Amino acid sequence: MTETHSPYSGVFAAVLTPQDANKDPDISRMTQHSQWLLANGCDGLAILGTTGEANSFGLKERIGIIEDLVAAGVPADRMMPGTGCCAIPDTVALTKAALDAGVKGVLMLPPFYYKNPSDDGLFAGFSEVIQRLGDDRLKIYIYHFPQMSAVPFSYDLIERFLKEYPETIVGMKDSSGDLENMAGAAEKFPGFAVFPGSDELLLPTLRRGGVGCITACANVVSAQAGALWQAWNAEGDGDTVAAMHEPLTAARNVITKYPLPPALKALMSRHTGDAGWLNLRPPLMELSEADKQALFAEFDGIGVTLPKAA
């Protein structure tokens, strides 16, 4: 087996961030949801990512979410918080808070405001964060999502990271939707933990060296994704695993017809009977009633059953 410095593998949900009526983080709902996910197929929780509306929350709020979840009993060693910000001091402060709370790894966007930065600039930015933290506990998973950040990570840059920081930069979430990019990275950099960010690419990436997935739809199909991961590890590839992958692909295809956080919150609101799940921070908005009903009808047609609500 290729040596890896990644402490994480398996199915991670890109966890939704519930909000109260004032659109402030609702730690009680988020704790219940996190524990429900861990009890129903998830190996870990990627909080404060795109699906978690992280960039709609301020630095103090994000630190508070991490600390409050841990205080409420969500295991820190099962969390992979998103800590990448545009400003290096914010990234350092948020990452330090995560490490101090007990997490094993963080998911880090590049500084994404300035477009078309050079590889030298990105390398310098990550190096600055690593040097300022100076913490041997630090494990970084880079977050490759060019559709949103408009700042991709090239293979040349990854190779440079791994040469300079092999025990610190240990993996990647690839939400590009480009199978060749993510599977190619897993093949080119053995031991570098590659997580696809799309449910329909879980099995194809596993077949080429991936280590799991970090996906939005795992908020509602965690049980199915977790069962596939367990079957893959127990039985390897085959018809059974391929059949288990079909509903994940179908669910993704239905849900991504709509903005992901509103669609997933609508599904969770219906499942729990809790209208509070519908709260979102602008510019994200609740789905129209017509869109909700269309989403529910198509999702129900897949035949996926959610475990009993927390």
Please give the Cα distance from 81 to 158 (Å, whole number): 21
Please give the Cα distance from 238 to 183 (Å, whole number): 19
The DSSP annotation for 123-135 comes to HHHHHHHHHHH--
304: region left, alpha or beta (phi > 0 left; psi from -120 to 50 alpha): beta
8: region left, alpha or beta (phi > 0 left; psi from -120 to 50 alpha): beta
Q: Tell me the one-letter amino acid at 130.
A: I
Runs of H (alpha helix) within 150-216: 155-164, 179-188, 202-206
Q: Tell me the one-letter amino acid at 186.
A: A
Measured CA angle at 147 (ends 261, 127), to 5 deg: 105
User: Nearest-CA neighbor of 130 among 119, 118, 142?
Assistant: 142
Catalytic residue annotation: 50, 113, 143, 173
Please give the Cα distance from 186 to 195 (Å, whole number): 9
**Structure tokens given for 210:** 């991936």
